[in-house]
Amino acid sequence: MVGILTLVTGWPGPSGFGSASTAEMVTDGIDASNLTAIVTGGASGIGAETARVLALRGAYVIIAARNMDAANNAKQLILQSNPAGRVDVLKLDLCSFKSIRTFVDNFNSMDLPLNILINNAGVMFCPYQLSEDGVEMQFATNHLGHFLLTNLLLDNMKRTAKDTGIEGRIVNLSSIAHLHSYEEGIRFDSINDEARYHDKRAYGQSKLANILHANELSRRLQKDGANITVNSVHPGLIMTNLMRHSFYLMKVFQFLTYICWKNVAQGAATTCFVALHPSLKGVTGKYFLDCNEMAPSRLARDETLAKRLWDFSEQLVNQG
């Protein structure tokens, strides 16, 4: 169990890594040159660092981002430090089902295999608003968008894993904030209820959904015999653009809890560890913090809730 002491001190856990480990440290010596990866939200923050380190290890990286100027800038920064890097950018707006389907069509037209999918992008603590498909924005972007994207890319991932014999890996970025969802976990009957909307609880709900999605998909892929693992991670507390809607509040919180915060290189470590490290071969349906497996909340481990969320999500994306 990774506790507050290891978080504060950076002492490594059973994996040999801890809160002080960086993405470069946890992937040192790993050759990913035969892998293709998609990183959503790879234009900034820990997504950009994840894309950089995957490319540094040789992977062909597709940065999927809404802001194409930022995505191209991230690509150029990667290539400046790593001229041999293989990086491309594709537009993806996760709060639009149409954009997601267009992204998948564009990716498929490149005729590439797909080994790794990093569901990293998201919004946080935003004021109440609906996506273009009529769903509360945090749930739509953080969960539904990645749910649809993953489903549309699964056939490619299954085919790649079968043809190459290389295990595919899907990583959902969740958060310790999943502990602070609404009381019932997921508000299936009032997902768009503006009167009862709470920006922090809604974020927690979407992060709980990320874990439930990963766990249910893991079970389904195991049942199908697919050579693909699905895990979720909490990257840690990192001050990035994700916190722009609560910047001053989070700066105060950061000041009061400064010993618990990470830099971007440390924040991308758990994602890169779960995506690439050979010690996690065959490990699926787990939740990781500071590069070590942890037990998520009781609601996050609820298989009935996960199945209900899957059916609910399918209904929403199919009507969009």
What mean pLDDT is reported for the chain? 92
Q: What is the pLDDT of residues 6-36, one digit of tens each?
A: 555 567 999 999 999 999 999 999 999 999 9
- Parallel/antiparallel/unpaired status of strands 116-119 and 36-40: parallel
Annotated active-site residue in 128, 197, 203, 258: 197
At residue 172, φ and ψ (nearest 5 deg) are: -100, 125
Q: What is the pLDDT of residues 129-180, one digit of tens each?
A: 999 999 999 999 999 999 999 999 999 999 999 999 999 999 999 999 999 9
251 has a pLDDT exceeding 70: no
Query: What pLDDT score does 238 carry?
Result: 57
Domain tally for the chain?
1
In which order are the strands placed within the sheet that holds 228-234?
A: 86-91, 60-65, 36-40, 116-119, 168-173, 228-234, 287-289, 292-294
CATH of the domain at 90: 3.40.50.720
The pTM of the full predicted model, rounded to 2 decimals, is 0.92
For 47, the domain range is: 4-319
**Mean predicted confidence (pLDDT) in 91-97:** 98
Q: What is the pLDDT of residues 198-234, one digit of tens each?
A: 999 999 999 999 999 999 999 999 999 999 999 999 9
Q: Band the pLDDT of 246: cuts 50, 70, 90.
A: very low
* Best CA proximity match to 250, nearest among 261, 241, 239: 239
Percent of the chain with pLDDT over 90: 87
Using alpha carbons, list the distances in angstroms from residue 110 to 36, 71, 88, 89, 107: 12, 18, 11, 12, 5
274 has a pLDDT exceeding 90: yes
Q: Band the pLDDT of 82: cuts 50, 70, 90.
A: very high
**Mean predicted confidence (pLDDT) in 185-208:** 97
Query: What pLDDT score does 261 carry?
Result: 65
**Mean predicted confidence (pLDDT) in 270-291:** 98
203 is catalytic: no
Q: Band the pLDDT of 51: cuts 50, 70, 90.
A: very high
